[in-house]
Structure 1
């Protein structure tokens, strides 16, 4: 039994942080940011009382409404995030409470920017096993909570947002999730990380003073690795499923950098008109980027039955992967 996406939704905070806003607090410029990343603005959840669970709960409620079901029908909630509200309870449990999904169990999955693909593949296994009928898979991040807004190399890249999908049994075995290839290489951890807040470096005056609770990135090294990994996995997914460029309806890539996206499309041999891009509006929302793209394509009614979609990502860990699904 294959798992298919039957509903989508996204939620972006109202507040916009533009490149011009960053020019006022950093030694940077709109032109520098746009030419190197493709980003013009990003959304920020400013309310200190609201966190990732708020973003994800908005998504869950919209999916339930669009599908015309009740929260009690949800069997499982998986939230992919690297910015949970707290270490425990899980953000997914907070979402379960917020939406009243009293019959669902719930857990978080940490795969950084690849988190949604990891969660989507995981959720599909419960459908395939025949033990679950309705699985909510959500990617959500409040990246502004781990940004050092004195570091111009990282804070210009990230924004806040969430999006997700409902997985249900596909109409037939030729639709839905058809293939997935996921990877991890812990040797990449030294290039993209946040040291503080875990059991190794719990919060102290020293960790706060040492700015250890912010995201740190070796931009050049991560860029180099991401270009290779995303392009390679995209081509591998095509080859594994005997697809050529004309067969691909949409490439839906992680929105980390426009140049990485363009390199991936070029390697696949597909036109940029078939590539989902919204990095200019939202920046890098980590685990939320791919489901936001899916939701936007769905809202615009661009996704049609039989469309072949290839999803690819790369993130901290290192983690990366690709998924092939046929829209139903």
Structure 2
């Protein structure tokens, strides 16, 4: 342990696949319409990974951008954390694949699964590891290829989701005023485990040569998710803001999980903070799960005021962190 070791954000980046999918295109596949999707979600388009492009590929694109923007050499990267619920495989980890694709031979790499709260969880974990003094440069990426987990007969879920990746590069500093993490509240409510789920693998019921592993498609109880996000999560956000004496005037921005524009609008109303303080990219990218927060963060410039990041999703996992850029 090195006393006085902190982490600062030295670069942010985002990436989405080229293929744009419109509401009209989805309406040709299922009983829905552009009008219904926009009115209920605010989403106009989303991007899908195609032609074998997978989660590790999206992550690698972000990693390359972070290295280029920060000026840190790939050999100096010693920690890679990928948050995802749509990995390339259960094993090896997507982070290990990305480490290989980046040629970051000196980096320890692992995946973290916290659904749509993944980036918040991963940044919190990276902060603690950087504080140990054992790591100098860390890449934290959230990446999702949600399209490969969708049931395209289910309009209640499929119309929401898109694919994308975003992340940040953290660098160790001895200057406490440069520390990126100001405060945090990270929570889990396992009693809500059935509210959102994806990729469940059933255990054996008998020993048979016909056994073969299969997974289920993404499912969510939309009404319960809306109530959770606008109720429980809003209380968490308010608690963190109040204990740091932050309000609309001394807060740079609030970046929520980009689940649904209507949820973000409701949180704005509940906190009584103008939507002007809530940057959002969900209209263009859809719900990219854990990637939504860093994708949106990458659109922001430097700010002297704190930024609140709040993620919430399956688990139920939810967390809020106050950061400096």
- Would the TM-score normalized by the shorter structure come out above 0.5? yes
Please report the TM-score for the alignment, with normalisation by the length of structure 1.
0.92
What per-residue deviation string (whole Å, max 9, x for no partner) do you get for residues 97-151 of structure 1? 0000010000000000001100000001112221211110000000001001110
* Counterpart in the other structure of 2:322: 324
Distance in structure 2 (CA, Å) of the matches to 1:169 and 1:253: 26
Distance in structure 2 (CA, Å) of the matches to 1:200 and 1:194: 19
Conserved in 1, the CA contact under 8 Å of 2:230 and 2:270?
Answer: no
Please report the TM-score for the alignment, with normalisation by the length of structure 2.
0.93
Distance in structure 2 (CA, Å) of the matches to 1:122 and 1:256: 23
Distance in structure 1 (CA, Å) of the matches to 2:320 and 2:313: 12
* Counterpart in the other structure of 1:286: 289
* Counterpart in the other structure of 2:121: 118
Runs (4+) off by over 4 Å: 198-201, 204-208
Structure 1 residues 103, 195: CA separation in 2 closer, same or farther (over 3 Å shift)?
Answer: closer
SS of 1:190's equivalent? coil
* Counterpart in the other structure of 1:218: 221
Q: How many residues align?
A: 316
Residue 266 of structure 1 pairs with residue 269 of structure 2: yes
Aligned pairs for 1:1-328 (under 5 A) are 1-47=5-51, 49-170=52-173, 172-175=175-178, 176-194=180-198, 196-197=200-201, 212-297=215-300, 302-304=301-303, 306-327=304-325
Structure 1 residues 221, 133: CA separation in 2 closer, same or farther (over 3 Å shift)?
Answer: same
Q: Which runs of 5+ in 2 are unaligned?
A: none
Distance in structure 2 (CA, Å) of the matches to 1:191 and 1:9: 31
Distance in structure 2 (CA, Å) of the matches to 1:325 and 1:172: 15
Structure 1 residues 200, 80: CA separation in 2 closer, same or farther (over 3 Å shift)?
Answer: farther
Structure 1 residues 106, 191: CA separation in 2 closer, same or farther (over 3 Å shift)?
Answer: same
Distance in structure 2 (CA, Å) of the matches to 1:200 and 1:241: 50
What per-residue deviation string (whole Å, max 9, x for no partner) do you get for residues 249-291 of structure 1? 1111100111211122223332211211110000110110000
